[in-house]
Each structure stands twice: as structure tokens, then as C-alpha cells.
Amino acid sequence: MNLEEPVIVGKIGAPWGVRGWVRVKSYTRHPGDILNYPSWMVREPTGWQEISLICGHPQGECVVVEFEGYNNRERSKELNGLDVGITPDQLAKREGDFYWVELQGMAVITLKGETLGKVNHLLETGANDVLVVADDQGAERLIPWGKSVIDRVDRDRREIWVEWEPDY
């Protein structure tokens, strides 16, 4: 994972209304939180481009937004399906908190020094988040994200140390 690349926080959907507004599926924990980021980028076929957000508001399970330069339905259709990203420096940093995007690709190591694999992705189960760790052969194991399992995370070395046995 490259923390220099934009972090994808949503996807633009179909136009909403006739004045160029669009629906955005937010990947933030609370859909409306995506509106807290002051600048957005969209991934066009030619690469990431900054886009100016005029305003927006939550609408059911998504948010609806108005972008500068997209003032009619036909023009806003061009955005349908594009990823929305933010720069990594826009992510709030609190001691002990980690974004899923930071954890992906980190090596997972037991306290005995055995490497279990790398974080492929995470799952949200309701009770707690779960690391999906893939080994070199592609086999996956699920490791709960919790204080009783996670010993420490070393951002610099891209390692997660866990109280976990290889045969679990």
C-alpha cells in the first residue's frame, strides 16, 4: 500500500435531480463524514484530478453533492462510477488509532516471532473488526482486532505483532 496515493473514501453514482448534483456512496464509518474533508479528488481514466465541492448533505444511505463546473444532469453523468479520494495528510491522526488502509499489507507476526502472512483486507463484524491475513500460499486466517490479541503495531516497520498461534 502506498500512503502517497489518495485514499479512496467513496464512489460517485448517478445524478440526483436536474441541477448537476450526484449521489456519492461514502466508505466512511458514517456516510456524512465524507463531507468533512475539504478537498476531494476523483480518479479519471487519466489519473487523479482535484474537484471542487460546493456543498452536499446526507441523503439516506449516501450523500448528495454539488461540484463546481457540473451544473446540469448531463454534465454530472460524466462523473458516474468514479472513485473519490482524499490525500493521506487529510486523515486525522490519534495515538493508538489506525486506518484500515494503513494496516493493509502489513506483516502479521506472533509474539514467538512466527510470520503468519500479510493483512489482505479487514472485515467489520459489528462486535469488532477482523484482520484477514493471507500467507504466501494464499491461505487466509481471520484474526480479531482487539486488545487481547493485538500486542503492538509498528507503522515504520509495517508489522502487527499478535498474541495468536499459527494453528488457530
Q: What is the pLDDT of residues 139-151, one digit of tens each?
A: 999 999 999 999 9
- Residues lower than pLDDT 50 in the chain: 1
pLDDT at 127: 82
Q: In this structure, what DSSP letter does residue 30 have?
A: S
Position 121 scores a pLDDT of: 93
**Whole-structure pTM over 0.85, yes or no?**
no
Q: Where are the domains of the chain?
A: 7-90, 100-162
Cβ 162 vs Cβ 116: under 8 Å: yes
Contacts for 4 with CB less than 8 Å, ≥ 6 apart: 88
- For domain 100-162, which architecture applies? Roll (2.30)
| CB atoms closer than 10 angstroms to residue 82 | 20
Cell of 114: 512466527
How far is the C-alpha of 148 from the C-alpha of 4, rounded, in Å?
32
What is the distance, to the nearest Å, from the Cα of residue 8 to the centroid of all Cα atoms in its chain?
A: 5
pLDDT of residue 3: 58
CATH for 7-90 is: 2.40.30.60
3-class SS of residue 152: strand
Measured in degrees and rounded to the nearest 5, phi and psi for residue 77 equal -60, -25
